[in-house]
Chains A and B, each alone.
Chain A
C-alpha cells in the first residue's frame, strides 16, 4: 500500500535577506534539505525540532502554499509538486491549521468555517451552516458562532481555526502548533478530537513543541534539525531513548 503522503528529496531554500550595503553576497538559506518522509493512512506523524528548524515550512510546501526547489510531494502516489496539476483541487483535499490561526477578521466565526464548503465544495448555505455548527460544537465553540475572530480569546481562535480546517472532511490534516494556546484540559479535549478523527480515517502531519502532545498522539516522531530529518521513530524511541547526540541535547533542554 502506498502512503497517503510521501516526500522524496524535498528541498526548499529562501533567498538571503537583501542586506542593504553589504558587499558579501550571502548564500540562500536552505530550510528543507533533501527531506524524505512517509505518512501512511490513518496515521499521525509529529514533527519536532527547534524554532526555525523548518516545521511550518514543511507543512506549507505540502499544502502547496510555496514552491519547492527540488524533489517530489506524492499525494496518493501522484506528484502534486508538478506545476501542471490543479493545485486548488489538491489543497481542497487537505485541511491546514496555521500557527498564527489566520482567521478571516471580516467574517463571523460561522462564515469562516463555512467558506470552503460554500465556495469550493458547492454545498448549499443551510447544509454548510449545519455542518459548521456541528463542527464548532465538537471544538466547544458553538456559542461563539456569530462572534468575530477579534472577539475571541487566543484558545478560542485556535479552536475556530481547527473547525475551519476540519469541516470539509479533508483526507490529510496539517496541524501547526494546534494546542499552543490551550489550557491542559482543552489540550486533552483536542487530543481526543484528533484521536476521533483518526478513527474516522483521517491522516495527520503535526508540528509541535509539546512533547506530551507528541507522546500521546504520534505514531511516528521526526526530529528536524538543519533542514534534515535527523532522527525518526516511535515516540518511545525518539523521545524516550534518542540515538543521536543532537536529539538528546534538544530534548534535555526542553526537559530542564
Chain B
C-alpha cells in the first residue's frame, strides 16, 4: 500500500520569508519584554527587602556568612543522614506503594484478607499526621522491648516515614491505574494476554507515566519530611542547625539547611522533567497527530 513519495524540492516563497522574519522579530520582542519585566520585579523586591527598617538586623541574624561557614560541616553531616533516609524510605515506600496498589486490583480470592488489610492500612495512615506516626513509632515501639528491632532513632524515624509514605504512594499509583481507560485492558485481553500480563505491559507503564508528576511531588515531600526524624533525636540537618543556633540568637544555620534541602530536591524535579522528555512522554503537542503548534 501507500508509502511516502520522494518530496519535491522547495525553496520558501517571499510570503514565507516575510512571515518567518515577522516571527523572528516577534520572538526577539518577547525576549526583550521578558527581560525588562524580570529586571523590574527583581529591583522592586530588592528595594522592599533592603529598604525595610529591620533589614540590617535581619541580615546579620539570618545571612551571616561567618556563622554559615562555621555551621556548615555539622549541617552537611546531618544532611547525609537525611539523604540516606530519603533514598531508602523513598525506594521502599515506592515499591511497597506500587505493590499495594496492584494488590488492590487483584482478584485472587486467597488474597482477600491481605487486600482488606491493605485498604485499612492506607485509609489509616493517610489520615494520621506524620509527626504523630513518628512519635508513636519512635517512642511506643521501643517500649515493647523487641530484641530484634533496632532502636536507633534514625531507623525508627525512617520506619515511620516509610509507613506514612507507602500509604500516600499507594494512592498515587492507584489513581494512575484507574486513569488507564478500560478499552486498553480490553485490547490487551483480546490478544490473549492474562490479567497479570496486561497489568504489567499495558496498564502499569501508562499508569506510571500518568502519575510521574504527583509521584515526584511525593518523593520531594518525603525528602523534606525526612527532616522530621529530628524530633526523635536523630541528628539530621535540621537538628544540626538547631544545635548550632543554640545560645547565639543567630538563625543563619536554618537558612543554610533550607538552602541545602532545596539544592537536593531541585535537581530531582528537573531530572524527572528531563526523563519524561527523553522517553518521549512530554512530547510537545506539535509532534502528535491532532495536536499542533497553536498560535
A residues sitting closer than 8 Å to B (CB atoms) are: 60, 63, 65, 88-89, 91-92, 94, 96, 98, 100, 102-106, 115-116, 119-121, 139-143, 148, 150-154, 159, 164, 168, 185-186, 189
User: In the complex, which of the residues A143, A159, A164 contacts B191, with contact meaning CB atoms closer than 8 Å?
Assistant: A164
Check if B48 is an interface residue, CB within 8 A of chain A.
no
Chain B 181-237 residues near chain A, CB threshold 8 A: 183-184, 186-194, 197, 201-202, 205-206, 209
Check if B246 is an interface residue, CB within 8 A of chain A.
no
Whole-angstrom distance from the CB of B151 to the nearest CB of chain A?
45
Question: Contacts of B187 on A, CB cut-off 8 Å?
Answer: 98, 102-104
Question: Contacts of A91 on B, CB cut-off 8 Å?
Answer: 189-192
User: In the complex, which of the residues A100, A150, A186 contacts B1, with contact meaning CB atoms closer than 8 Å?
Assistant: A186
Contact: B288 with A120, CB < 8 Å? no
Contact: B209 with A106, CB < 8 Å? yes
Whole-angstrom distance from the CB of B207 to the nearest CB of chain A?
10
Contact: B186 with A98, CB < 8 Å? yes
Q: With contacts defined as CB atoms under 8 Å apart, how many contacts are there between chain A and chain B in the complex?
A: 78
Give the docked Cα–Cα distance between A91 and B193 (Å): 9
Contact: B194 with A100, CB < 8 Å? no
Give the docked Cα–Cα distance between A33 and B201 (Å): 36
Whole-angstrom distance from the CB of B243 to the nearest CB of chain A?
49
Check if B2 is an interface residue, CB within 8 A of chain A.
yes
B residues sitting closer than 8 Å to A (CB atoms) are: 1-4, 183-184, 186-194, 197, 201-202, 205-206, 209, 280, 287-290
Contact: B193 with A105, CB < 8 Å? no
Which residue of chain A lies nearest to B210 when distances are taken between CB atoms in the complex?
Answer: A106
Question: Contacts of B191 on A, CB cut-off 8 Å?
Answer: 91-92, 115-116, 120, 164, 168
A96 touching B190 in the complex, CB below 8 Å, given contacts A102-B183, A140-B1: yes
User: In the complex, which of the residues B192, B206, B290 contacts A105, with contact meaning CB atoms closer than 8 Å?
Assistant: B206
Whole-angstrom distance from the CB of A156 to the nearest CB of chain B?
8
Residue picked from B2, B189, B206, B290, most chain A C-beta under 10 Å: B2
User: In the complex, which of the residues A100, A143, A159 contacts B3, with contact meaning CB atoms closer than 8 Å?
Assistant: A143
In addition to A115-B188, A140-B2, 18 A-B residue pairs with Cβ atoms within 8 Å of each other are A88-B192, A92-B192, A98-B190, A102-B186, A104-B187, A104-B188, A105-B206, A115-B191, A115-B193, A115-B201, A116-B193, A121-B192, A140-B3, A151-B289, A152-B289, A164-B191, A168-B191, A186-B1
Whole-angstrom distance from the CB of A63 to the nearest CB of chain B?
5
Whole-angstrom distance from the CB of A67 to the nearest CB of chain B?
13
User: In the complex, which of the residues A98, A116, A140, A142 contacts B183, with contact meaning CB atoms closer than 8 Å?
Assistant: A98
User: In the complex, which of the residues A148, A153, A164 contacts B280, with contact meaning CB atoms closer than 8 Å?
Assistant: A148
Question: Contacts of B202 on A, CB cut-off 8 Å?
Answer: 104
User: In the complex, which of the residues B201, B205, B206 contacts A119, with contact meaning CB atoms closer than 8 Å?
Assistant: B201
Give the docked Cα–Cα distance between A139 and B194 (Å): 28
Question: Contacts of A115 on B, CB cut-off 8 Å?
Answer: 188, 191, 193, 201
Question: Contacts of A94 on B, CB cut-off 8 Å?
Answer: 190
Which residue of chain A lies nearest to B197 when distances are taken between CB atoms in the complex?
Answer: A119
